[in-house]
Each structure stands twice: as structure tokens, then as C-alpha cells.
Amino acid sequence: MADYKFYLKEKNADKETQIRLHIHYNNKISKVYIGEKINPCFWNSSNMRAKQTKKFPEHPEFNDRLDNAITNAKIAMDALRKENNGQYPDPRSLSRRVRIVMGLEKGSERLSLFQYFDKRIKEEEIRLAAIGRKIHSGSFPRGLQRTKELLMEFEKDKGTKLSFDTVDLGFYHDLLDYMQNTKGYKYNTMGKHVKLIKHVMKTASADGMHNNMSFTHPKFKILEQEVKTIYLDEDDLQLLENLNLEKNPGLDRARDLFLAGCWTGVRFSDWSKISQANIQERKLIIDTQKTGKKVLIPVLPQLERILEKYSEEELPSITNQSMNRSLKELGKMMIKNSKLKSIGGGASKYLRISTHTARRSFATNLYRRGIPIESIMYVTGHKTQREFYKYIRIPDEEHADSIRQFFPQSSVQLKSTS
């Protein structure tokens, strides 16, 4: 962790003196003159800010600039560490980068906002290629490309010219309105675009492209809304497996491929790799497309039944769009054959099944069986338990029941309310 403090060049001077930012990190110190001056009589050495006094009426704006200097220093530190594989920079490199970010020193060739998007897209494509990962629709460079295209449409439709300097709170609110009311984007889709805009603004600032820090304002926030996604428990999966689809071979193949995803936990992009050829010693070995990571997945009995059915051929290959259409039809059939329809309409969840439901079902069902979280995360690729817990879906009643089982049954009869 770095520590950021301000000092006066001449603390006993009777006239204005320069302010210097000291950055203490990893047993090193970088000293940066930030282009600000103040008379020591207006300086509060305790909180290292200008005094709040009528004799120095500009103190609010002055202290805001000091706060921005620290924000810029953090951006510069993060950028240098990323460029050096996590290693801390030397003090001189950090000092120069901070001044570049603050616009006090000339850095790289200035690029426009859209040129910088292209630069970041190319950098990410090179990075993924270097580690052997394929670029697909869900990859980071493709996300940057979609955000760039959105901004170009926004610029054209609004008749305005976008640049680093125009990305302020006014732009933020106008863009939210455009995404919601013109493009019809969902809440979380809007949030993803805002997140990428903030990313580009941050890295561009660290590269010395601009010193507009409006994107760091608390009101320039990333929108995020919890999505009520569903999973299929093991009874649901058994219901799906038991459907008689002899007269509909297309749905039969879609059902089998979906169930294979439910019992391996891999993403849809890797479903095509679920085959006998990738099994060694009862383990499915897959090089995942999104992360490039090799995972070993135990071949569970449910998957064995599916692979046995296709012992002389590969599992079917189906597009995501076609699969989701088939899942809608399968969901309707599950409702028709489910006992849940007689107890409060619980079967309606079957109409919300999608390809991603398979992965959630795998993670949640294994979690419910008490399998160690670390083992499940190894397959799903979640890096933190926090992200994993956001991913699984456990009904509220199950949480309550799981706690109750650790306590003796009370003899007290509680009155139920109607």
C-alpha cells in the first residue's frame, strides 16, 4: 500500500512556496512537485491541506486540486505496476508519470478519444494472443469495441463532438438517457458500458492523454442491478432427462447437450469440447476458451449416460441462439410434466431457462451437496468466494433450514399466522 502526503518546500517562508507530494511505497519514496503554491500561513500541517479561513477563500477549490493530485498519483502507480507485471516502479519513473497524468509534463503522442479506444483494443488483442487465448464475443477487446461503437452512435445522433474533455457528469447523464430511452438497454448493460468508459479514461489519464478527472466523481458510477436468474435443481434436471423426445430429434439433441453443460459446469463456448476424445481416466480435460486455462472435470454418472448415448458420434453442435429457442420449447414441456404447476406456479421458472442456466445449475447443485467451494471454483473459474456466492442460487428457505438442522428440535408449539 502506498501512502500519500503533502509537504511545503519552504515551510517557514513569508511568501508562497511550492507544494510537494511525497509517495511512500515498498520502502521507497517518490517526490513530485504538483504545480501548486501556497503561503505557509494558510497551510494546515496536521491535515496537509489549506486552512478553511476567510483569509484564503479559495481553499475549497485548492483542496480539491490536492485531492485530484492524489487520485492522479494512484492512477499513475496502478498503470506503471500493470505495465511491469505488478512490480513497483522506481521513484523517478513514478514522479514523471504522475506529472504526465496531471498534464504538467509532456507524455506520449496525444490521441483522440476514439483513437485511444483503438489503441486499447489492439493492446488487449495482442495480450490475449500472447497467452494463447482466443478473442470471442465476450472478451475484453470486443467489449471495448462495442462501447466505442455506442459512443460513435451517441455522437452522431446527438450532433456533438466527443473528446476526453467532454466526458463529464453532463455527458454521463446524457449517455444514460440515450442508452435507456433510445437504445433500450437493460440496466446492467448500461453499467458495463460505463465501466469500460471509466477504464479507458483511467488508462488514458495514466498515459498522459488528458487530466480530466470527472470520471472519478462519485456520481459517475457504474450501474449494477442484481439479476433474478434461475437454476435447475437435481429434480428439475431429472424431469428434463425423463422427457420423451423420440418424435423430436432436434429437441432431443438440444436437451442432451444442455444436460451435459449442467453436469460439467463449463461455459457454452466450451460445450463442443465435451466428448469421449477429451476424457482420460474418467476425467474430462478442457482448455477453456475464455480463460485459456486447462481444467479437469470428473465425469459424473449423469454425464456418462449422455456420452454413452452418443458413443459412436460427437455431441451435437448447436448455436447459442438455436439452443435458447430449443430451451424455451423444452421449458414448456417441463411445465406440462411437472408437479410444481399445482403448488403455486413454481414451474414458471422453466420458461426462463437459458444456456447460462446450465453453469449456474452445476455450481449450485454441487454446493448444495456440500462439495468444497474451492473444488467447484476450480471448474467454474471464479477467483474469489465473493463472486462465487453471487453466482449460485439458493432459495431463502434452504438457508433457514440448513441453520435449523444444527439445533435440537424445540418442544414449544409456535402459532402459525394466516
Query: Residue 91 and residue 21: Cα distance in Å, rounded?
Result: 12
C-alpha to C-alpha distances, 389 to 120, 353, 383, 386, nearest whole angstrom:
31, 20, 11, 5
> Reduced to 3 states, what is the DSSP secondary structure of residue 168?
coil
Domain positions in the chain are: 3-101, 113-216, 234-398
Give the predicted TM-score (pTM) of the model. 0.58
Query: Residue 177 and residue 251: Cα distance in Å, rounded?
Result: 41
CATH 1.10.443.10, domain 234-398, yes or no:
yes
According to the model, what pLDDT value does residue 394 have? 66
Closest CA to 151 of 137, 135, 170, 172: 172
Cβ partners under 8 Å of residue 179, min gap 6: 150, 185, 189, 190, 193
Per-residue pLDDT of the chain (418 residues; tens, 9 = 90+): 899 999 999 999 999 999 999 999 999 999 999 999 999 999 999 999 999 999 999 999 999 999 999 999 999 999 888 887 788 999 999 999 999 888 888 776 678 999 999 999 999 998 888 877 778 777 899 999 999 999 999 999 999 999 999 999 999 999 999 999 999 998 889 999 999 999 999 999 888 888 899 999 999 999 887 666 789 999 999 999 999 999 999 999 999 999 999 999 998 988 988 988 888 888 999 888 777 788 899 999 999 999 988 877 778 888 988 999 999 999 999 999 887 654 445 668 898 899 989 999 999 999 988 899 999 998 888 888 888 887 786 655 555 555 656 666 655 565 655 4
- In the chain, the amino acid numbered 133 is R
According to the model, what pLDDT value does residue 155 have? 96
According to the model, what pLDDT value does residue 343 have? 43
> Reduced to 3 states, what is the DSSP secondary structure of residue 193?
helix
Residue 48 sits at the vertex; the CA angle it makes with 44 and 49, to the nearest 5 degrees, is 70
Return the residue matching grid coordinates 513530485.
Answer: 32
Long-range contacts of 278-283 (CB under 8 A, 24+ apart): 279/307
Helix axes 249-262, 320-337, angle to 10 degrees: 90
Sheet of strand 28-38, all strands in order from the earlier edge strand to the far edge: 3-8, 17-25, 28-38
- In the chain, the amino acid numbered 230 is I
Which residues face 7 on adjacent strands?
Answer: 20
DSSP state for residue 105 in the 8-state scheme: S
